[in-house]
Amino acid sequence: MIIAERKPFAEIKAAVAPYEKILIVGCGTCVAVCLVGGEKEVGLLASQLKLARGLEGKHLEIGEITVERQCDLEFIRPLCDFIADYDAIISMACGAGVQYLGQLCYMRPIFPAVNTAFIGVNEEAGLYSERCLACNNCYLAVTGGICPVTMCPKGLLNGPCGGTINGRCEVDPERECAWTQIYQRLENQGRQEQMREILPLHPHDRRTTSGKVIHPAYKRRYGGHE
């Protein structure tokens, strides 16, 4: 899932300072699981903003709503009607959600309340770690199920760099060297020969071109158009 972190309150407060009627929109999926942008966090941000404005003796009206997924047209379309009543929107979704809602309600300024950090896993409540950079050319089949693009800070595709020390990463001794782990995983599975294959240059164009994925069924139905 997508992992995000709440922006500092001062930054959010400053961004929406000119507005008196603000709608805060939460998202009930990834950011709710990582405890930064779900219904509870919408309530919390609303109270913080009201309190801060109140202390300054300024007027502020806040609306709160949380939808199932802000990255899904089906769930945000009904928001159009509400939004007309507000001067500005604060979205607590990931960057995709903020943009999609902003695109739909393009007449109103939209402000993100979180910094989208990465695609990762939920180790336990409150502990998340990165696993994938969405490179669109997944290597996990040949790297023992450990991502070299993400877990090695240099994204090396052909083995450890010269900086690894005792299986730790040169970038941060707290972290394990991804390539040492890949080697060990492959060795445990009796597949270490796999590491001898030279992987070619990464096809970056797969990430930087249209950035669209069209499901085959959709293509059949609509002939490849959106």
Partner 1 sequence: MSRLKKALEADKFPVVAELQPPKGIALDNMFSPVGFLKKRVTAFSVPDNEHARLRLSSLAACRLLKEADAEPLLHLTCRDRNRLALESDLLGAAVLGINNVLVVSGDYVTLGDHPQAKPVYDADSVQLLQIAQGLMAGHDSAGLPLNGNPDFFLGAVVIPEADPWVPQLIKFEKKVAAGAQFFITPAVFDLEKFRAFRQSLPPHPIKILASIEILGTEEVAQAKEGKWRQVYSLPPEILQELTAAEAEKVLFKGAEIAGRLLKQLKEENLADGVYLKAQGRADLFTMVLEGGGL
Residue 28 forms beta bridges with which residues? none
Q: How many residues bind ligand SF4 (CB under 6 A)?
A: 24
At closest approach, how far in Å is the CB of 160 from partner 1?
5
Query: What is d(CA 186, CA 193) in angstroms, rounded to the nearest whole number?
Result: 8
Of positions 77, 175, 204, 207, contacts partner 1 by CB under 8 A: 204
Residue 129 forms beta bridges with which residues? 121
Cβ pair 20, 59 in contact under 8 A: yes
Q: Angle 90-93-96 (CA atoms, 0-180°, nearest 5)?
A: 110
- Chain positions 105 to 164 lying near ligand SF4, rule: CB under 6 A, are 132-135, 138-140, 147, 149-150, 152-154, 156, 160-161, 163-164
Query: What is d(CA 75, CA 119) in angstroms, rounded to the nearest whole number?
Result: 22
At closest approach, how far in Å is the CB of 9 from partner 1?
24
The entry of partner 1, ligand SF4, none that residue 147 binds, CB within 5 to 8 Å by partner kind: ligand SF4
Query: What is d(CA 175, CA 181) in angstroms, rounded to the nearest whole number?
Result: 11
Q: Should residue 43 be labelled a site residue for partner 1 when binding is judged by CB under 8 A? A: no
Positions that interact with partner 1 (CB under 8 A):
153-167, 170-171, 173, 179-180, 182-184, 187, 192, 195-196, 198-202, 204
